[in-house]
Chains A and B, each alone.
Chain A
């Protein structure tokens, strides 16, 4: 069975500092990996994905994520945090194999950017 772990319930970072939100995964075979952001009382918004190729993936709003196969990690990063980045972030994984494959989400990490 596949799983996603987001070990930090909350991450606090000062505005202007770099941020990292951690994610590790477990899946049979190769993974499709995703990051989503959710603002209060809103739906999830897709940020970026890793399918194959370059391990560093760039996404929306200046976010990027680094795929590390040996550590089974897909950490979300941003060089300089904004107060408006404060939100709930979800990592998700889907097996890269034939047919429909279920998406498994992590439990989310609350990012608080302090002015």
Chain B
């Protein structure tokens, strides 16, 4: 069966520090991968998606970036965090470009 792992679960970082959130998927190959941010426990904002290694599409301009160094690994990064980057970050995968998404357990980032 397929599983998705996301870490760290919780992160407290000072403004201006770097960020790296990691996500890996097991039990499938060539998944579509996604990073979402959920603010205030409600709305989901798509940040990045990837349909293959090295293929990253950005949905919104921001100081975040994403990379996909391996087929089942998706990394969300920032060189310098802003206060506004605080939130709940969710990684997800789908088996096809039209299928349902399967989410990780999330990473809660607090920028102080």
Rounded to whole angstroms, the CA-CA distance of A84 and B40 in the bound complex is 22
Looking at A32, A41, A44, A96, which has the most chain B CB atoms within 10 Å of its CB? A44
Residue A71 at the B interface, CB < 8 A? no
Q: Is the CB of A42 within 8 A of B101?
A: no
A92 proximity list for chain B (CB < 8 A): 101
B105 proximity list for chain A (CB < 8 A): 42-43
Among the 9-residue stretches B14-22, B41-49, B66-74, B75-83, the one with 4 or more Cβ atoms under 8 Å from chain A is B41-49
Residue A49 at the B interface, CB < 8 A? yes
B42 proximity list for chain A (CB < 8 A): 88, 107-108
B101 proximity list for chain A (CB < 8 A): 34, 36, 44, 46, 92, 103
Q: Is the CB of A100 within 8 A of B49?
A: yes
Q: Which residue of A lies closest to B42 (CB)?
A: A108
Q: Is the CB of B51 within 8 A of A44?
A: no
B41 proximity list for chain A (CB < 8 A): 88
- Distance between A104 CB and nearest chain B CB, rounded to angstroms: 9
Q: Is the CB of B97 within 8 A of A43?
A: no
Residue A101 at the B interface, CB < 8 A? yes
Residue A17 at the B interface, CB < 8 A? no
Residue B31 at the A interface, CB < 8 A? no
Residue A25 at the B interface, CB < 8 A? no
A49 proximity list for chain B (CB < 8 A): 100
Residue A99 at the B interface, CB < 8 A? yes
B7 proximity list for chain A (CB < 8 A): none
Question: Could you list which residues of chain A lie within 8 angstroms of chain B, going by C-beta atoms?
Answer: 32, 34, 36, 41-46, 49, 88, 90, 92, 94, 96, 99-103, 105, 107-108
Question: Could you list which residues of chain B lie within 8 angstroms of chain A, going by C-beta atoms?
Answer: 6, 32, 41-44, 46, 49, 51, 59, 88, 90, 92, 97-98, 100-106, 108
